[in-house]
Amino acid sequence: MSKLGTNVREAAKILTEGGLVAIPTETVYGLAANAFNEAAITKVFQVKNRPSFDPLITHVANKNELNNLAKNIPPDAQKLMDVFWPGPLTIVLPKTERISDLITSGLPSAAFRVPNHPIALKLLRALDFPLVAPSANPFTYVSPTTAQHVEQQLGEKVDYILDGGPCQVGLESTIISFTGNLPKVLRLGGLSIEEIEKEIGSVSVQTHSSSRPEAPGMLINHYSPGIPLVIGEIDKLLKENKGKKVGIISYKKAFPDYINTVLAPSENMAEAAKNLFKALRWMDDQKVEIIVTEWVPNEGLGRAINDRLKRAASN
């Protein structure tokens, strides 16, 4: 059997038997395992080389599944689920004992999301258990946005890769926590803060990293493309890096004399988000010595893009 395919029944069978399947979502590809099988959860950490203190997101088919998995769900969290699920929003809530401490790294809260991808939803509905699924990349590397990316990086180590085409959002989900008195955004991502605030009013954003961050995926070096990356005014950075093999990731202007990828030729921020990780990987393939890039307008999805650029630059 080829590792890469579109057979949801096969994927369901492997997951039921405790195997690992890479699954498409609208954000990035996930490395999925049965959330009720501790051996399978442990394998996810091993395959990703992920430290055990970095908790996993539990993916469910719909919000009703949370009845047994989460407790004390505040009305604002309910509202976000109603409006944005399925979609690129992860909600952190106090957990029940049905959620293993392995998933949450011992935290009393757990992260949940309903992914908005027809294949992922079909799979989740076919199963009688939820799926833990971190992004399907080795720890600290750029998240995969195609099935081929997964195959290149984890091909040997997964039992099957469900191919759902390129991810439509291209950035990981936004994470919001409802474990304190007030909702707190822990990771900027595929759903903008503006969209969230339209529904529940202003929220605090606390995505800075520390040695034991609340959302450890937010460690500062988390999106390493494997090559140095600098951000600023492109013309100036080009002068500073004369003589080097430079690659340019620009927002909307093309640089035809250089190895260049333009994130959003149409100036559409969603397009830029969708292209970002692909661009970082492509630069790796081009074997450039340094990536020169620029900030995008810091609003809507642009904030999440700038956040990922900043992290990619910090190596």
Binding region for ligand TXA (CB under 6 A): 25, 27-28, 30, 54-57, 90, 92, 104, 107, 109-111, 113, 115, 133-135, 172-173, 175, 177, 186, 214-218
Least distance from Mg ion to the Cβ atom of residue 1, Å: 27
Least distance from ligand TXA to the Cβ atom of residue 179, Å: 7
Q: Which is nearer to ligand TXA, 25 or 293 (CB)?
A: 25
What residues contact 238, with CB distance under 8 A and at least 6 apart?
246, 248, 258, 292
H or E stretch at 269: helix 269-285
Task: Identify which of 19, 62, 64 has the alpha carbon closest to the alpha carbon of residue 37.
Answer: 19
Q: Which is nearer to ligand TXA, 248 or 305 (CB)?
A: 305
> What number of CA atoms fall less than 13 Å from residue 254's CA on the CB side?
4
Q: Specify the stretch interacting with Mg ion by CB under 5 A; choose among 132-140, 183-191, 224-232, 303-311.
A: 132-140
Q: Which is nearer to ligand TXA, 93 or 296 (CB)?
A: 93
Are the beta carbons of 193 and 185 closer than 8 angstroms? Answer: yes
Q: Which is nearer to ligand TXA, 22 or 237 (CB)?
A: 22
Q: Annotate 220-244 with b (16+ C-beta within 10 A) or e (fewer).
A: eebbbbebebbbeebeebbeeeeee
Residue 87 region, left (φ>0) first, then alpha (ψ -120 to 50), else beta? Answer: left
The rounded distance, in Å, linking the Cα atoms of 85 and 113 is 7
Q: Which residue has the tokens 């910090």?
A: 314
Interaction pattern, residues 138-167, with Mg ion; x per rule: CB under 5 A: ------------------------------
Are the beta carbons of 245 and 288 closer than 8 angstroms? Answer: yes
Least distance from Mg ion to the Cβ atom of residue 83, Å: 25
Task: Identify which of 29, 11, 274 has the alpha carbon closest to the alpha carbon of residue 133.
Answer: 29
Torsion angle, CA of 89/93/99/104, rounded to 10 degrees?
Answer: 80
Least distance from ligand TXA to the Cβ atom of residue 200, Å: 18
H or E stretch at 21: strand 21-23
Q: Specify the stretch interacting with Mg ion by CB under 5 A; choose among 134-142, 191-199, 263-271, 276-284.
A: 134-142
Q: Could you tell which of Mg ion, ligand TXA, none binds residue 104, using a CB distance below 5 to 8 A set by kind?
A: ligand TXA
Least distance from ligand TXA to the Cβ atom of residue 301, Å: 13
Least distance from ligand TXA to the Cβ atom of residue 6, Å: 18
Residue nearest to ligand TXA (CB): 217
Q: Could you tell which of Mg ion, ligand TXA, none binds residue 69, using a CB distance below 5 to 8 A set by kind?
A: none
Are the beta carbons of 115 and 121 closer than 8 angstroms? Answer: yes
**End-to-end alpha carbon distance in the chain:** 39
224 binds Mg ion (CB under 5 A): no
Q: Which is nearer to ligand TXA, 56 or 234 (CB)?
A: 56
The rounded distance, in Å, linking the Cα atoms of 308 and 304 is 6
Q: Could you tell which of ligand TXA, Mg ion, none binds residue 175, using a CB distance below 5 to 8 A set by kind?
A: ligand TXA
Q: Which is nearer to Mg ion, 186 or 264 (CB)?
A: 186
Residue nearest to Mg ion (CB): 135
Q: Which is nearer to ligand TXA, 54 or 151 (CB)?
A: 54
Rg (Cα) of the chain, in Å, rounded?
Answer: 19
Q: Which is nearer to ligand TXA, 15 or 262 (CB)?
A: 15
135 binds Mg ion (CB under 5 A): yes
Are the beta carbons of 221 and 214 closer than 8 angstroms? Answer: no
**Residues interacting with Mg ion, by CB under 5 A?**
135
